[in-house]
Structure 1
Amino acid sequence: MASDRAGGVQSLERAFDLLERMADAGGEVGLSELSASSGLPLPTIHRLMRTLVDCGYVRQQPNRRYALGPRLIRLGESSARLLGTWARPYLAELVEATGETANMALLDGDEVVYVAQVPSRHSMRMFTEVGRRVLPHSTGVGKALLAHVPPEEVRALLARTGMPAATERTIVDPDAFLAELEHIRAQGYAVDDNEQEVGVRCLAVTVPDSPTAAAISISGPAGRVTEAATEKIVPVLQGVARQLSTALASNGTP
């Protein structure tokens, strides 16, 4: 971090850095931990944290550790909506190229939340809709996202949420699911094959270097999203994901 920046700007930069470090640490840390990871002196961290507490972005726990505060929820929800808005032109490109419904989803805690959708021209109602939250183990986007999470963290997530079966094809065994994630990492995309909804197949890839873990997908009838169609659709999905990644890296300007 540059030491010659104006005091106000530097303080703001340091405050955001501390919030990100807290998020990386699971949302709750002590001042000494923040000092060790950031290299900032304890008095500076204490001053910044008091300001963040006063603003509601951080709260102090009874054990004197600090946790992310509730005002961040509002910012996160607004950011998710904005990310979905930026993604829509790219999802529309997917629909044009594949003829199937395109979605974007984020990993939010233990759940997947859909933040954008462009429907297919074909009339077919599917369970996905903007704002819907689902467990990740039975969705293409969820599997694509969890494929990039360390296995021990995936096991912990599955232990918290359970693995309820949405259909008879849903993977409900943690070992089998981890093997599926290894396969996804190797092939570069995830498949939901009648696992969330009977008769529907979904293909999904992550958005590289997204500021928050994100994936895009196409969903359609199993009779159209066949193995042969998959070979043609996946490169399109991956190309659009790279385009979206580039747009997000340039501050979201499509």
Structure 2
Amino acid sequence: MPTSSASTTDSAKPAASGGVQSLERAFDLLERMADAGGEVGLSELSATSGLPLPTIHRLMRTLVACGYVRQQPNRRYALGPRLIRLGESASRLLGTWARPYLARLVDETGETANMALLDGDEIVYVAQVPSRHSMRMFTEVGRRVLPHSTGVGKALLAHTPEDEVRALLARTGMPAATEKTITTADGFLAALSDVRQLGYAMDDNEQEIGVRCVAVSVPDSPTAAAISISGPAGRVTESVTERIVPVLQQVAAELSHALTNPGPAA
């Protein structure tokens, strides 16, 4: 089988999707690097991707030349700094795309709607549509908080392996924002178990006294994302929560579909 000639024409091969195979492979390698923590060796990439080492080496060399990957002194490869600008721009666009869905949440629930991402060990809010009530919650877009005291944090970490959650909490600490904040790893893991059972997460006066937040993750999102509504505890009651949760889940499913189904090719 003429593997050597196939490898030399790899960049010209059409992908099964009708695109360019080498581009698909390069992006797949970047995502595998991110899944591995941002730094990998060629043999690891070959084992997980199934691609031959010469193909991976050629793709990585191109990514290094473009600044999207850098080679470390130990010969391993790490995600490069040029990805930061792309990521920041993509996060802003993600918030823009989400706004119509958040606006629907406000229309149907009457409360402020938010979208947040897990960025490293922190939660970052990327979009918000405020409630029309005079008394409403306001979270600045771009604000960063620790996951343990937020509904979106619980929603985003609910299906993360326990050892990874414990490691994250050990790195961030668990400072008390209020007297109701969960401040132990065991307590937080118990809360995550509740999220998995119920299908939604709650922040009950844990980030700010007098405020309740109900959150769900966006299923199959290209990056870990969650949406939520937040409002005064007197309005976001148990009975109101029962009504809000199906709306949140439906909007999250529709947003997921929009994010994972690209528009028609040019």
Q: TM-score, normalised by structure 1?
A: 0.95
1:174 Cα deviation after fit: 0.2
Task: Give 4+ residue runs of structure 1 displaced > 4 Å after superposition.
Answer: none
2:183 to 150, 159, 172: 172
Q: Distance in 2 between matches of 1:194 and 1:66?
A: 43
2:111 to 88, 93, 100: 100
Match of 1:59 in 2: 70
1:237 aligned partner, one-letter code: L
Q: Distance in 2 between matches of 1:210 and 1:88?
A: 16
RMSD after superposition: 1.7
The reply to whether residue 36 of structure 1 matches residue 47 of structure 2 is: yes
1:70 to 81, 89, 95: 81
Q: Distance in 2 between matches of 1:63 and 1:123?
A: 58
2:231 to 186, 209, 220: 220
1:239 Cα deviation after fit: 1.1
1:116 to 127, 143, 163: 127
Check conservation: 1:191, 1:202, Cα contact below 8 A: yes
Q: Distance in 1 between matches of 2:246 and 2:148?
A: 23
Deviations along 1:79-119, whole A, 9 cap, x unmatched?
11111111101100000011100000011110111111000
The reply to whether residue 148 of structure 1 matches residue 159 of structure 2 is: yes
1:41 Cα deviation after fit: 1.8
Q: Distance in 2 between matches of 1:140 and 1:62?
A: 41
Instruction: Name the CA shift for 1:252/1:78 in 2 (closer, same or farther; >3 Å).
Output: farther
* 1:231-246 equivalence runs, <5 A: 231-246=242-257
Q: Distance in 1 between matches of 2:172 and 2:138?
A: 20
1:218 Cα deviation after fit: 0.2
Segment drifting more, 168-177 vs 43-52:
43-52
User: Greater relative contact order (Cα 8 A, min sep 6): structure 1 or 2?
Assistant: 1
1:74 aligned partner, one-letter code: R
Q: Distance in 2 between matches of 1:168 and 1:42?
A: 54
Deviations along 1:204-237, whole A, 9 cap, x unmatched?
0011111111100000000000111111111111
Q: Distance in 1 between matches of 2:92 and 2:28?
A: 23
Q: Which has the larger radius of gyration?
A: 2
1:5 to 13, 27, 38: 13
Q: Distance in 1 between matches of 2:213 and 2:136?
A: 14
1:5 aligned partner, one-letter code: K
Q: Distance in 1 between matches of 2:251 and 2:91?
A: 19
Q: Distance in 1 between matches of 2:73 and 2:83?
A: 20
1:125 Cα deviation after fit: 5.6
Match of 1:129 in 2: 140
Check conservation: 2:112, 2:136, Cα contact below 8 A: no
Check conservation: 2:136, 2:231, Cα contact below 8 A: no
Check conservation: 1:86, 1:252, Cα contact below 8 A: no
Match of 1:187 in 2: 198
Segment drifting more, 142-151 vs 118-127:
118-127
Number of residues of Structure 1 aligned to a counterpart in Structure 2: 251
The reply to whether residue 27 of structure 1 matches residue 38 of structure 2 is: yes
Residue segments in structure 2 that go unaligned for 5+ positions in a row: 1-9
1:12 Cα deviation after fit: 1.2
1:126 Cα deviation after fit: 3.7
Q: Distance in 2 between matches of 1:250 and 1:14?
A: 19
1:250 Cα deviation after fit: 2.0
